[in-house]
Amino acid sequence: MRGKSRFPLDDRRHQRVADPTRPVAAIPRKQYTYYSGTSILHPLAAPQILGVEHTITAHVTIPEKGAEGVLACSGGEFGGWTLFLKEGKFHYVHNYLKLDHFAVSSAAVVPAGRHTLSVHFTPIEKHLMPDYSTGNVTLSVDGKQVGEMKGVKVAGQYSAVTGYGLLIGRNTGTPVSHEYKAPYAFTGKVEKVTVDLK
Q: How many CA atoms lie within 13 A of 83 on its CB side?
A: 27
- What are the helix and strand counts (H, E) for the chain? 2, 11
Q: What is the pLDDT of residues 169-187, one digit of tens each?
A: 999 989 999 999 999 999 9
The three-state secondary structure class of 178 is: coil
d(CA 95, CA 103): 9
CATH number of 35-197: 2.60.120.200
pTM, two decimal places: 0.85
Task: Please name the helix (run of DSSP H) or strand (run of DSSP E) that holds residue 15, with its range, or none.
Answer: helix 14-18
Give the pLDDT confidence score for residue 163 in this predicted structure.
60
What is the pairing mode between strands 54-62 and 69-76? unpaired
**Neighbour tally for 91: CB within 10 Å:** 24
Q: What is the pLDDT of residues 104-163, one digit of tens each?
A: 999 999 999 999 999 999 999 998 877 889 999 999 999 999 999 999 999 987 765 556
